[in-house]
A and B are shown apart, each in its own frame.
Chain A
Amino acid sequence: MKVLYFAWVRERVGKAEETLEPPASVRTVSDLMQWLVARGEEYASAFASPRTIRAAIDHTHVKPDTAIAGAREIAFFPPMTGG
């Protein structure tokens, strides 16, 4: 699946997107964040306060307990500040 990062999440991770294949044990958005944190310091820093981070699956906002099965694109970003 394609994983995208925006704003300060992108800056901390150090990349805008990557393709990842998490193991089957990674079931939800929240699981995916925990799995990412274990990948390295830059992820640990980006996801230090997971409750602040918002997520979207295939262009739709989702909650942390949403299953990621079948997702083509998952994005992580801070609360939005447009308008």
Chain B
Amino acid sequence: MTTPVTIRIQSADFDIAAEIAALTKGNTDIGAVVSFSGICRGGEGDKAIAAMTLEHYPGMAEAEIGRHVSEAIARWPLTGVTVIHRFGRVVPGDNIVLVLTASVHREAAFQAAEFLMDYLKTNAPFWKSEQRTDDNTVWVDAQTHDDNAAARWKK
């Protein structure tokens, strides 16, 4: 059976409970759902953030996330995957990204969710800029620890 997959790139917020319900509805093969949500923080070190803007590459964002979801499905026995990534302006406390992975047992769901997030961070074409409370706007730098996190999944 094909694993149900939902991938959405949107400016609107998402409702985590509604997304989990949509993923599990009518599927009694699911024994575990892992949910990861990424949220806009209020500061980076000692710099307070007023808002964040996410730029993305339409078309490639969907394609790249789709490739990683396909790889996750090939590696783990998943019974459903949902990935939602927002673009545009968000403020501290707002949702940015949601990854849901469903499986018969928890281990596959946990691992696949972590795999997807590690790859999303380093490979999905999104770029964050922060509007600091001091009125400076800066592009967020890529983090070496994110590259290392993605590298550990290389076969």
Contact = CB atoms under 8 A, between A and B. Distances in A.
A70 interface: no
Contacts of B60: 56, 59-60, 75
B126 A79 contact: no
Interface residues of B, number: 29
Interface stretch (A4-12, A23-31, A40-48): A4-12
Contact of B120 (A4, A75, A83): A83
- Give the dominant DSSP class at B's interface: mixed
Most buried by B among A59, A75, A77: A59
Most buried by A among B54, B117, B140: B140
Contacts of B122: 79-80
Interface string B117-151: 10011111111110000000001111100100000
A61 to B, nearest CB: 7
6 contacts: A6-B55, A80-B127, A81-B128, A81-B142, A83-B117, A83-B121
Interface of A: 4, 6-8, 56, 59-61, 75, 77-83
Interface of B: 38, 54-57, 59-60, 63-64, 85, 96-97, 117, 120-129, 139-143, 146
